[in-house]
Amino acid sequence: MRTTRRFWRWRRNPLKRGTDRVEAWVLLATGAALVLGAPAAGAAVGVHTAADAEAATTGLHQVAATVTEQAPPATGTQSRVHATVTWHTPHGAEVATAEVAPDSPAGSRTVIWLDAKGAVHRPPPDPALTQSRAVAYGAITASGAACVISCGSIAVQHSIDRRRSERLTREWALVGPQWSRRT
């Protein structure tokens, strides 16, 4: 024989306390926030991260440039180093410092990225890297939101339990002497 206690928090009961109602609503809000809020926060951060990366690369274009002096060797795990390069524009030759391959000899060709004003920029990130970054930031945000929601729920539940315990202690101080043998 099965008992029907599935939705006991929501049934009418003359013994139900106000804290029972609060606890039921806190659990419902926590569940809704975990199911809807945390994933929504993660998705919003992921979309925003991807949009920021795309906006940063808008307006950039490639230009062929020539390394003017020997590029320095790589130190550590560097895949690119800074060196002086020159390239031609309709207004004449331009010179600037850009990222090139380590140990590039003077006179070698490289590709640099310029914005609409002609300023040198870093190469745009790989789309796969941008996508994985957006997914990672979204997952971290969703996990963090779930932790905050869960900790908040635990704190409220602890407060409710403390209030119940205090009330029981007060009531027992009144009723306890009547029931015990000591008077």
Give the pLDDT of residue 7: 63
75 shares its domain with 119: yes
Q: Residue 40 is part of which domain span? A: 18-54+129-175
Instruction: Report d(CA 127, CA 136) in Å as an integer.
Output: 14
Question: Total domain count for the chain?
Answer: 2
Give the pLDDT of residue 73: 83
Q: What are the backbone angles phi and psi of residue 162, rounded to the nearest 5°?
A: -65, -40
Give the pLDDT of residue 94: 85
Instruction: Report d(CA 113, CA 123) in Å as an integer.
Output: 6
| 70 falls within a domain | yes
Burial class (CB in 10 A: 0-12, 13-18, 19+), 141: buried
The stretches of 58-126 forming alpha helices (DSSP H) are: none
pLDDT profile of the chain (183 residues), mean per 10: 58 78 90 95 95 85 88 80 86 85 87 85 86 96 97 95 93 85 61
Q: Are 141 and 148 in contact (CB under 8 A)?
A: no
133 shares its domain with 48: yes
Among candidate residues 85, 100, 123, the one where a domain is terminated: 123
| 77 falls within a domain | yes
Q: What are the backbone angles phi and psi of residue 113, rounded to the nearest 5°?
A: -115, 130
Residue ranges with strand state E in the chain: 61-67, 81-89, 92-100, 109-114, 120-121
118 shares its domain with 78: yes
Pairing state between β 92-100 and 81-89: antiparallel
